[in-house]
Amino acid sequence: MKILAFFGGARKNGNTLAMLNYLLDQLEGEKEIINCYSLNVSPCTDCRYCFKHRACSIKDEMVDIYRKVDEADIIIFAAPTYFFGIPGKMKVMIDRFQMYWSGVKRGDLPEKFTKKGAYLMSGGGPLFDTQFTGGGLELSEALVVTNTKKVGAVLMDDADIVTNLAQRPEIKEKILEIANLLK
C-alpha cells in the first residue's frame, strides 16, 4: 500500500503536522510526506496543454508529483486554514492538478475511484460556520480529480489556543476513525 501525504503548513511543529503524523502512525504501508513549502512548483498558466495531453507543459517538480499521485493507493492532504483557504504553496500545487481535471476534456477521466483519501485541517480560532468551507471544498475536489474517494475529514479548531494534539482527545478519536476507513 502506497500512502502519499501532502503537508501544506509552514510550521514544522504545529498541530497540522501532529495530526498528519498521528494519522500516518495508524496506517501500514509505504508512506511519503510531500512538504508543499519545500517544492519548486510554478503556478498554472492556463495554457490548456493538458486539454489534449495527460501532462503539463511546465516541466518542474510536478512531473514527479504526478507520478507519485498516480502510483498512490491513499492520498491525504493536511493543511492549516489561512484566511478561509489553504496556504498558497499548497494552492499553487493543487492548481496544477488541472492536468487531472482536464481528463474531462480529453475523455480519459476514470469512471470509478481507485484510491481512498482524506484531509485534515486546523484553524487557529474557535469554530464558526465557514471556518473550513473554502479549504475543505478545495481539498475535497483535489481528491476527486486525482481519482480518490474521500472517506472523511478531520477539522481542528482552536489550534492557536490548544497547541498540543494530546490535549484534544476528540480530534485524536476522529483521526482514528479516518484511519480505519482508509485501511
> In the prediction, which pLDDT does 125 show?
87
Query: DSSP string spanning the chain?
Result: -EEEEEE--S-TTSHHHHHHHHHHHT--SEEEEEEGGG---PPP----GGGTSSS-SS-STHHHHHHHHHH-SEEEEEEE-BTTB--HHHHHHHHTTHHHHTHHHHT---SS--EEEEEEEE-SS---TTTTHHHHHHHHHHHHHTTEEEEEEEEE--TTTS--GGG-HHHHHHHHHHHHHH-
pLDDT at site 127: 85
- Selected from 3.40.50.360, 3.30.1300.10, 3.30.420.40, 1.10.357.10, the CATH number assigned to the domain covering 2-182 reads 3.40.50.360
pLDDT of 146 > 80? The answer is: yes
Reported as a single tens digit per residue, the pLDDT across 12-52 is 889 999 999 999 999 999 999 999 999 999 999 999 999 99
User: Domain boundaries in the chain?
Assistant: 2-182
Mean pLDDT estimate for the chain: 96
pTM: 0.96
